Amino acid sequence: MPVLVMKFGGTSVATLDRIRRAAKRVGVEVAKGYDVIVIVSAMSGETNKLVGFVNETSPFYDAREYDAVVSSGENVTAGLMALTLQEMDVPARSWQGWQVPLLTTSAHGAARIEEIPTDNINAKFGEGMRVAVVAGFQGISPEGRITTLGRGGSDTTAVAFAAAFEAERCDIYTDVDGVYTTDPRICDKARKLEKIAFEEMLELASLGAKVLQTRSVELAMRYKVKLRVLSSFEEPSDAAGTLVCAEELIMESKVVSGVAFSRDEAKVTLVTIEDRPGIAASIFGTLAEAGVNVDMIVQNISEKNYQGHKEGVTDMTFSCPVDQLKRAEKALEAARDSGALVFDRLETETEVAKVSVVGIGMRSHAGVAAKMFQTLAQEGINIKVIATSEIKISVLVDRKYMELAVQALHDAFELEKA
């Protein structure tokens, strides 16, 4: 029988009533002739509660025990979903990560999936099981310990199962009814997309859109897994949700498909650093060792160099998540104290936001950057940093202008129109 993967997020299984609602959706797909693999998250709020217990018990916790505790929320949901399906006379069984087994690396708290053998679950399908309810977010290390995949890891679990079992599709059920041109809470003209290319979804996910975890989109793109994002709270239909698929399955793409944003950005400038080969590697190697995720990078002409006071110097500006700013400052100051880096001072800004336009149509259309910058200028919004790729343009602006920038760009590129 064909296999369908269905993933239910925490809000979709937050109560017993919602688990029953989700189970009915699974029953509909079983009646259509599918063998179904259901991936479940912990009930809404449960993982945060478990993380709190760990932090309260042991602030400097053993990561292996952290995984043992926080993975338990998914086990509860999987068991309850299997029981609910059984009450509906649907042959179902729950599976924890080690039972599959979902094989991962040993990086506790942020493990990566290595392999998903299909023999155990396929054997049970052959014996009459119609639904395998798998606890998301978890696996087993080479040492035989429980591991977790990082927050949002159930999305990655679902896509990995769809790839391993060559599923017809992977349906991600959440509390939104699809992927929108931007956040409807920011722009009331936001439109739900019928289809979006993997590359566009990957950019949107990495730029702040919360619909799908970035790693899950990467996996789907690599293995050509069709993803459908839809709401567990709306009536099911063939037209529901948004299909995330290969570019060739989309007849004609708009130049810009969406506007993404991230509020929680910080801007850092190293003033007056040496302008020599290897300096960038030294700076960003230091930040990488400290676990700082750097995004936008710009090298500027130093004020000293510009005024002719000193030759061979430059300024380096980058952005990073605001919650990693202290870590970045500490690492750079330590490098300066040790003599590994030489710079005059660090300048930081925390009241900034990143706004991005994304679209595969940019590959074949000129003028997107000019239109974006002109639109922001007309609204009196100053651009602090610019970064581009083949299908995106990102700018850093003052946070107080973020919503205005999103709305103006959405209007300028006419994203409300299909």
Place of tokens 């690492």: 331
Which of 105, 140, 175 is at the close of a domain? 175
Same domain, 270 and 390: yes
The 10s digit of each residue's pLDDT in 65-107 is 999 999 999 999 999 999 999 999 999 999 999 999 999 999 9
Residues 123-148, mean pLDDT to the nearest whole number = 97
Any domain includes 243: no
**pLDDT at residue 210 in the model:** 67
Q: Give, as one character, the DSSP assignment of residue 11.
A: G
Same structural domain for residues 44 and 162?
yes
In a domain, 229, yes or no: no
The amino acid occupying position 141 is S
Q: What is the mean pLDDT of the chain?
A: 91
List, edge to edge, every strand of the sheet that includes 392-398. Answer: 297-301, 313-321, 258-274, 345-358, 392-398, 385-389
Instruction: Indicate the angle between helix axes 72-87 and 63-70, nearest 10 degrees.
Output: 20
What type of residue sits at position 271? V
Place of tokens 């999305």: 155
Mean pLDDT of 250-260: 83
The range of the structural domain enclosing residue 161 comes to 3-175
Please indicate, yes or no, if residue 210 is contained in any of the structural domains. Answer: no
26 closest CA partner among 37, 16, 18:
37
- Are 16 and 151 found together in one domain? yes
Burial of 119 (0-12, 13-18, 19+ CB in 10 A): exposed
How many Cβ atoms sit within 10 Å of the Cβ of residue 343?
21
Answer with the one of 146, 175, 204 that is the final residue of a domain. 175
Instruction: Please compute the mean of the pLDDT values over residues 330-350 and round it to a whole number.
Output: 93
The CATH number of the domain where 7 resides is what?
A: 3.40.1160.10
Angle made by CA atoms 187, 193, 199, in degrees to the nearest 5: 105
Binding residues for substrate: 47, 74
Within a domain: 244: no
Residue 224, pLDDT > 60, answer yes
Burial of 127 (0-12, 13-18, 19+ CB in 10 A): exposed
Pick from 175, 195, 217: which residue ends a domain?
175
Binding residues: 7-10, 47, 74, 174-175, 180, 185, 210-211
Q: Residue for token digits 């710079």? A: 343
In 3D space, the residue among 105, 93, 97 whose CA is nearest the CA of residue 68 turns out to be 97
Considering its fold, how many domains does the chain have in total? 2
Whose CA is closest to 100, among 46, 160, 155? 160
pLDDT of res. 259: 94
Together in a domain, 274 and 381:
yes
Among candidate residues 154, 143, 127, the one with its CA nearest the CA of residue 64: 143
Residue 218 located in a structural domain = no
> Is 78 a member of any domain?
yes
- Alpha-carbon gap, residue 400 to 267, rounded angstroms: 15
What residue type is 375 in one-letter code? T
Q: Which amino acid is it at 1?
A: M
22-32 tens-digit pLDDT: 999 999 999 99
Same domain, 148 and 278: no
Binding residues for ATP: 7-10, 174-175, 180, 185, 210-211
Sheet order of strands, 169-174 included: 92-95, 131-135, 35-40, 3-8, 169-174, 227-231, 242-245, 195-197
Verify that 13 and 156 share a domain, yes or no.
Answer: yes
**277 and 405 within one domain:** yes
CB neighbours of residue 254 within 10 Å: 18
Secondary structure (H, E, C), 174-200: ECCCCCECCCCCCCCCCCECCEEEHHH
Contact in structure between 289 and 335 (CB atoms under 8 Å): no
8 and 153 co-located in one domain: yes
Q: Report the chain's terminal Cα–Cα distance, integer Å.
A: 36
Report the range of poorest mean pLDDT among 34-48, 116-130, 171-185, 390-404. 171-185
- pTM exceeds cut of 0.85: no
Task: Copy the structure tokens of residue 145.
Answer: 């310990």
Nearest to 244 by CA among 257, 260, 259: 257
Q: Is residue 204 part of a domain?
A: no
Distance CA 19, CA 74 (A): 13
Q: Yes or no: say if 255 and 366 are a contact pair by the CB < 8 Å rule.
A: no
Q: Is 156 found in the same domain as 286?
A: no
Question: 325: domain CATH number?
Answer: 3.30.2130.10
Q: Are 368 and 362 in contact (CB under 8 A)?
A: yes
On whether residue 106 sits in a domain, the answer given is yes
